[in-house]
Chain A
Amino acid sequence: MMNYLLSLIIWTPVAGALIVLLMKDKQATAIRWISLAAVLLQLAGSSILLFQFYQFPESSGGYSIESFHFVEKANWITMDLGSWGVLSIDYLLGVDGLSVPLLWMSTLILVIGMISSWSITKQVKGYFALYLLLSSSIIGCFVALDFFLFYIFFEFMLLPMYFLIGIWGGVRREYASIKFFLYTLVGSVLILVAMIGLYISVSDPTEILADGRLVRTFNLLHMSDPANFIAGSILDPTSLKEWGGVSIRSLAFLFLFVGFIIKLPAVPFHTWLPDAHVEAPTPVSVVLAGILLKIGGYGLLRIAYPIFPEAALDYSWWVGFLGVVAIIYGGFNAMAQSDLKKLIAYSSVSHMGFVLLGIAAGTTEGYSGAVFQMVSHGFISAALFLIAGVLYDRTHDRMIENYSGLAEKMPYFTAVTVFFFFASLGLPGLSGFIGELLVFLGAFQSSSVNGQVPQWMAVLATFGLVLSAAYYLWTLQRMFYGRLALREVAWKDMLTELTNREWLMFIPLVFIVLLLGIFPHFLLDLMNGSINQLKELVFENGKTIIQSLNSGGS
């Protein structure tokens, strides 16, 4: 069973969805429990995986399939296309230190999202079936090592998300869902074009046909080795093909980069996010902010950077710059919001900027910080959207100015809110601090270690901390402190303390945010080996390619 653990984690919710679809809409309770069981099984599976992972020795050697665990490989599609060669697509799964933390975080958030979905009463069957399909495709993204497989999961995710926002969302749900779909599809299409170029240019070194024809592969690890590019193909590192002065390899990198930062999202491709968040029902916001955004960052680290390392190094200034812009711009925007959910959405944009900056810095600290930030933001943003959901469930109003002095009425809720606001603004001792600290360290060192990003970017990014402190504290002051004043008197009775179900969602999050803040090595140890491998790969291959291009070009 251990050999198929990843498959089980992926496909359990699909099985759950099928069961749910066979039931009647009236059996709402049963549907909820079955769905919860499915995501709990996912969490159990990923927890087993996590604990096993701590036992494994830190992987040594290069970035290759040997550094992955729980690998599953099966031939899916093999097509003989005559003289052109053979096209092979594998069902290839595996996890390393980069994907395991994200995987576990996702399964936990999915469970919490499921508990939060308990209050959904409209078209229950459809909702839970879609939620389960979404769970499957999310997990598929994190464990697929074949580009085709990854892309299928990556793209399929949009469909359940579209309906979840579009049917169960707020007033402007139709607009928000179609905007979300179109924006992210643009990203997918760019990724698709890069993917096509890649598989045509990469051959599988382990499979050579007797008659000397090539086997084209979608294997991400083969793509990450420059030696596997077919000589003379467009994406071959020595290829000189260019368009308007930009080499085609850089262009392909930009396609992947833009595709993933639309998902992340980074300025200027972020405008779908506030709309989607504001309209989405609470659990969908939780999943969207907690997990979906991370797939953008994960895609950069797993796909764009290892495959096009020289372009990644080339553009690191711009990557870092976009990160800083997102941090500052997102922060200022958050400060200007009057809708609590929008504020949190913009704070997400701001915090995802740190991921970009960390990746751009290219040091071990930078990469680790980026991943740490993704995991930590996954937990914190989930909690923040739950907080917004708590208020919205009670009054159907999220406007900041309509509340005041909530601390008086809901002291425990206020405590939880304060905790997560501080976690998000980077209070030492909580997980948000570690991620941002590592990113700063990486960005500061970068100019002396590898010269990827200048120091002023790190300095400017610290300003983002001040901004987040400002908008969070100001929100606290406006909504929670002072004298109790609400827009409508009737709200006084509606605003009750946290229910047991809500506590059930917050407690694990509080615990993990504290744990990661005080003992960050739980996470850092887990990913250190893989992050180092990845960094080495990007820098070694990147520098080699740049050198060979320079010597070839001059």
Chain B
Amino acid sequence: MHKEGLSFQLLEALGSLNQVGPELAIGAGIILLLIVDLITSGKRPLLLLVLSMLFAFVALWLILPLWVQMPEGGLLFSGQLIADRHALFSKAIILLALALTLLFGTGLQLRTEYYYILLSLTLGGMLMVSSTTLLSVYLGLELASISGYILTVFGFKKLNFEAGIKYLLFGAFASGLMLYGISLLYGLTGSLAFTTEAFTTQLQQANEPLALFAIVLVLMGIFFKIALFPMHLWTPDIYQTAPVPVAAIFSVVPKIGGLIVLLRLTESFSVVSSYSQLLIFMASVSIVFGNMAALNQNNVRRMLAYSSIAQAGFLVLPIAINDGFAVTSFYFYIFIYLFMNYLAFYLVDHMEREQKFSFNDYKGLGKKHAFLAVAFLVAMMSLVGFPPLAGFTGKLYIFSSLWNEWQTSSGNLLLIVLLLAAGNTVVALFYYLKIPYFMFLKVEEKDTSGMETLTAGQVMTACLLVFMLVFFFLKPDSLIQVIQQIPFPVTQL
């Protein structure tokens, strides 16, 4: 069978369709929502919300059969995408993030466009995690970015536009760098399909400084998505000014998209000798920088932004190590990260509706709003990595994978990284503890009796997230069992 014929390519594309069910569902959702929005002329936000939720769950449901049928996954669309379990698991996280984001929406006076742009951001993330060529990576990344640019300004205030423009300019810059890197890589290897052996062997034979230069450029584009130092500059502004649900989805979907791309790329890039060290170094710098910068923040969301830079460092460490144990711990942590981060943003959302933005505004709230304050405490303690919450288990695995890798390596670099990362949890405690500190230890100055308590729906959502964090602490094996079904190493073709 020759692969050049148009009919063959069409047939292959058609054959691939059944494996991109989740993407198709979200794609169909975007179109349907667009039509419904046109018909109802933007007056039925609740309908759109329900429809988006429906599509999120349909897409989630479509992942299940694929997970069972395709343990190894096959290339789709002439090798552009792959539907392996890495992709499926991360798609599930992305879709869960979408569903959780939609839970925010009801109280927010957003325009109806919000919903389908949210879906297209999700679609972008889903494309990223299944990409096997640099071209599809770029496509997914841009889809996510462009949706992101629009979403950031949805507050329609002056500050939103400022942050949005910053993000746009910075994103364009990052994309440019990345494109240049891609073109260099293409020149060096003659291929964009980075999971192929041809790509790897060519890269190995290439001039090392040049290859490293190209790799660094590509990494810049990815670091931008995962908010890793030094491409983190947009993070604080966006986290602070974008609508809270948008900030929440920004902290998970582009991050996991970028991280999975990084995971796949690492498999090929690690033939360049100093690549892993570079990645470990950037991750460590990110951890230290994020934590140090978070220490001095007064605005809760800015604190969360800097902390997410540090958390990104924690997530990149296991990818840089790149062995079975490390990748397992990576998936565990990102899955838990979804819940703890959303819990934090979910509560922040409520606070902001009450016009409370800085730590000072949180003073003394623990007394009257005990549930809210305890839920905050759970979110923050889990982010620090404090037992008995799943964040602790996640950090434990990541540290373990560092030690485990150190055992097989010759130097003591990884021990230093381990100590640095572990030491940084103490730094992190200081700022994460600020919220409980202000809520419980400080005495309120202004009268806050007017503040509304959480509604029953909000309490249920918060309870669900808290439950997840406790459950996966008590029974991490249930999640690890699923993660263990993801084959490692990432398929090389």
Contact = CB atoms under 8 A, between A and B. Distances in A.
Interface stretch (B44-52, B96-104, B422-430): B422-430
Interface residues of A, number: 39
Q: Tell me the interface secondary structure of chain B in the complex.
A: helix
Given A84-B324, A189-B423, A200-B404, A167 B440 contact: yes
A520 interface: no
Interface string A160-197: 00010011000001100110011001100110110011
B425 A189 contact: yes
B378 to A, nearest CB: 11
B396 interface: yes
Contact of B399 (A126, A185, A196, A248): A196
B273 interface: no
B399 A192 contact: yes
Interface of chain A, helix or strand or loop or mixed? helix
A159 B433 CA distance: 10
Given A123-B367, A181-B429, A193-B399, A80 B484 contact: yes
A82 B441 contact: no
Interface string B478-492: 001100100010000
Nearest to B395: A192
A173 B425 contact: no
Interface stretch (A110-118, A149-157, A402-410): A149-157
B437 interface: yes
Interface in A436-464: none
Interface in A39-85: 77-84
Given A181-B429, A234-B407, A81 B480 contact: yes
Contacts of B381: 159
Interface string A515-542: 0000000000000000000000000000
A229 to B, nearest CB: 12
A234 B441 CA distance: 44
B359 interface: no
A233 interface: yes
B275 interface: no
Interface stretch (B66-74, B134-142, B217-225, B411-419): B411-419
B484 A196 contact: no
A200 B403 contact: yes
A509 B19 CA distance: 73
B429 A185 contact: yes
A156 B325 CA distance: 27
Interface in B399-455: 399-400, 403-404, 406-407, 412, 415, 418-419, 422-423, 425-426, 429-430, 433, 437, 440-442
Contact of B324 (A78, A83, A159, A173): A83
A77 B477 contact: yes
Contacts of B399: 192-193, 196
B147 interface: no
Contacts of A178: 430, 433, 437
Contact of B481 (A80, A123, A233): A80
Contacts of B388: 152, 156
A84 B397 CA distance: 13
Contacts of A79: 476-477, 480-481
A511 interface: no
Contacts of A84: 324-325, 404
B435 to A, nearest CB: 13
A77 B478 CA distance: 9
A162 to B, nearest CB: 8
Contacts of A189: 422-423, 425-426
Interface in A498-521: none
Contacts of A78: 477
Q: Which of A83, A185, A232 has most B Cβ within 10 Å?
A: A185
A126 B476 CA distance: 30
A182 B429 CA distance: 8
B324 A193 contact: no
A192 B387 CA distance: 12
B386 interface: yes
B311 interface: no
A82 B326 CA distance: 12
A181 B406 CA distance: 30
Contacts of B328: 81
Contacts of B484: 80-82
The 5 closest A-B pairs by CB, nearest first: A166-B441, A152-B387, A79-B480, A189-B422, A79-B477
Interface of B: 324-325, 328, 367, 370, 381, 386-388, 396, 399-400, 403-404, 406-407, 412, 415, 418-419, 422-423, 425-426, 429-430, 433, 437, 440-442, 475-477, 480-481, 484, 488
Given A82-B488, A182-B426, 12 more contacts: A80-B484, A81-B324, A156-B388, A173-B441, A177-B441, A181-B433, A182-B429, A189-B423, A193-B422, A233-B407, A234-B403, A248-B415
